[in-house]
A = this chain, B = another copy of it.
């Protein structure tokens, strides 16, 4: 089975490697032509527990369009690039099953623009480091959870089973909302605070003052969404902070590297949800502005 992966970032490369391992054929579509060239020439190298594995990989620049051979399309670009990819898929009238693997929920509003009858959404709970265009490390064993957003397809079901069968844990859930909303809350609580304080995830637990703020944010954001077992989600937030205590969150790293963050799809989405119910969300709004301001910090400093 040929599988298109749109996005040559950490998650895209990780999934491509395991699709290869499962004897399916990944085709990576990259934004930059040079990454496609490098992947075709050098293959993809993945480290795990200090051992490197090499995969011969087909890669193409997305600018030339999809090859048309693929049975499934997986979109792994960051949320702030999803709109562009959706426009591309919609213009290309792709009708294959498409899986979206993004943080946050901001991209869901655009999914109706797609012609494909079968759409899935999912989340990635793996630790993965991207060293270069062709080299990653799988640093934390986790799982992928997917769920149908619009109509199921047999081929996608088979794909999930084949991936799961080789030990790359991939779970099919019935309802997409709880899958995405839990991850959203986890991201909403951990990412902005760690980016703001410039601390590792674990500091939110060990620093009592930061912990107090984590609780306050959690309370505010969980009011804005439908969540059945709130205290269970809190336990999950704490568990993830513990498990990743020595890691810097993606938002922290984005800010440190002057990259755009995924704040719009995380807190931006929650603010929009809250607004629908005329909710007052002072902390979420403050945090949203804080991260937005930090993204534009250089501007502010330049004129200041």
Chain A residues in the interface with B (C-beta under 8 A) = 196-197, 199-203, 205-210, 212-213, 216, 220, 245-246, 282-283, 285-286, 289-290, 292-294, 296-297, 299-304
Contact status of A297 and B216, CB under 8 A, knowing A209-B289, A282-B282: no
By a CB distance below 8 angstroms, the chain B residues around A282 are 216, 220, 282-283
Q: Is the CB of A213 within 8 A of B299?
A: no
Q: Pick the residue among B208, B213, B293, B304 that contacts A286 (CB under 8 A).
A: B213
Q: Pick the residue among B196, B203, B289 that contacts A300 (CB under 8 A).
A: B203
Closest-CB distance, A122 to chain B (whole angstroms): 30
Q: Is the CB of B206 within 8 A of A290?
A: no
Q: Give Cα A246–Cα B302 distance, bound, in whole angstroms.
A: 10
Q: Is the CB of B290 within 8 A of A196?
A: yes
Q: Give Cα A201–Cα B303 distance, bound, in whole angstroms.
A: 11
Additional A-B contacts beyond A207-B299, A213-B290 (15; CB < 8 A): A197-B297, A199-B297, A200-B304, A203-B301, A206-B304, A207-B293, A207-B297, A207-B304, A209-B290, A209-B293, A209-B296, A210-B300, A212-B285, A213-B289, A216-B289
A-B CB contact pairs (8 Å), 14 listed: A196-B290, A197-B290, A202-B304, A203-B301, A206-B301, A206-B302, A206-B303, A207-B300, A208-B293, A209-B289, A209-B293, A210-B290, A213-B286, A286-B286
